[in-house]
Amino acid sequence: MGLLASLFRRRRLPSKMGYQDAREALESRNREVKRELAAREDAPPETLYYLACDDDRDVRQCVAANPSTPIHADELLQTDADDDVRVELARKLGRLLPDMDDAERLNLRERVLRLIERLAADEVPRVRAMLAEEIKSCPLIPRRLALRLARDTEIAVSAPILQYSPLLSDEDLVELIATARVEGAIEAMARRAHLSPAVSEAVVATLDIAAIGQLLANDNAQIREDTLQQVIAQAADIESWHQPLAMRPGLSLRAMKRISSFVSRSLLETLANRHGLDDETRDLLKARLQERLEGPAKEEAPVGPLAAIAKAYEEGRLGDEQVMEAATLQQRDAVALALSSLSGAPLERVDAVLKSKSGRAVTALCWHAGLSMRTALQVERHIALVEKGHLLLPRAGTDFPLDEEEMRWHLDYFDIEA
């Protein structure tokens, strides 16, 4: 006993600790010894359970971080009044789950998952953020939990899941992009290791400059040629896109020619070198740069937005692509003309719908015009200027959220027959 007391005064525990050692350490009432005991993975489960109720916050924090702590003690700590204790518990549980063997999963997994779900609902953001960071790549958590964290209102919580979780499908990502309310959420999705063409298209449709920049810099993001052309059409005045555009792998010759019309000389060299262009193509791009430096060549006057819409309608090719591009460029008159042409509604009634700032009415009009819900969302955002909290969002990322009867009712309100 005298030897143990001496050890405790020096704040040390035996290298090999038995049940009696743990009991005597508790009876010593030495705070440092209790903290050391709470962190020991060879401490008896009963001791750790007892220490989970200790008055010392640091002791409980050590118990929360200890992988040997029994599950019933973890269940106590999940309701601990101290945030730091719950943060440590979230860190530990997130790391333990992927490493459990089959026997442990059979006996404990359901209880651990229940604890994780409760921590995912913790009122303190940094508890949820710690949990999200630890389970971001884990395929063993329920999909509903991944979606819950992905929709969290704190970017520190949602970003790890949005960027890394293997449980989010393309359909989930498209819907999350369309309904994003937190700054930085779309950027996180644009950084995912692999992005399908559909998800890339959804990112571009948001007109989020930072997110599109991340998308362009993501070599593993698959971007269709027509989607890339939409980006290039808007890129001349957005300098942050120039370098990632020039560095994109697999650029078509058409894309390179368009990019060469606005990037700097140094980026033009990068473009030529990265894509291994032959001398003839390289000389062509350099000639374009020289033309820009010397002044614009005489060209035919560009076709204005209204004329472009009218021409597309006459040629039978007016549709989602043209209307979405005009909407994202905030060409209000062009969008109004397109909606009037496609729906057959008088221009003044189309104008009244757009002025109403009603997401439901705008959506109904786009439906009547034969356009997609994703196009309707861009018209809501950029033309009708519907307030963010009143935007009508796609169902499942792409579907109209209203039934036909309700959409006809909204059109009838503006004397538009459908």
On whether the pTM is more than 0.75, the answer is no
pLDDT score of 413 = 93
Show contacts of 366-371: CB within 8 Å, 24+ apart: 366/339, 367/400, 367/402, 367/404, 367/407, 368/343, 368/407, 368/411, 368/416, 368/418, 369/323, 369/338, 369/339, 369/342, 369/343, 370/319, 370/342, 370/343, 371/319, 371/320, 371/323, 371/342
Contact present, 40 and 65 (Cβ < 8 Å):
no
Q: Given this model, what pLDDT does residue 4 score? A: 44
Which residues in the chain come in under a pLDDT of 50? Answer: 1-10, 293, 297-301
pLDDT score at 288:
60
CB distance 328 to 234 below 8 Å: yes
The pLDDT assigned to 416 comes to 92
d(CA 245, CA 228): 9
pLDDT of residue 103: 58
Q: Provide the pLDDT for residue 279.
A: 61
Long-range contacts of 255-264, Cβ-Cβ distance < 8 Å, separation of 24 or more = 255/225, 255/228, 255/229, 256/281, 256/285, 257/284, 257/285, 257/288, 258/229, 258/232, 258/233, 259/232, 259/235, 260/285, 260/288, 260/289, 261/236, 261/288, 261/292, 262/235, 262/236, 262/292
Model pLDDT, residue 197: 94
pLDDT number for residue 286: 62
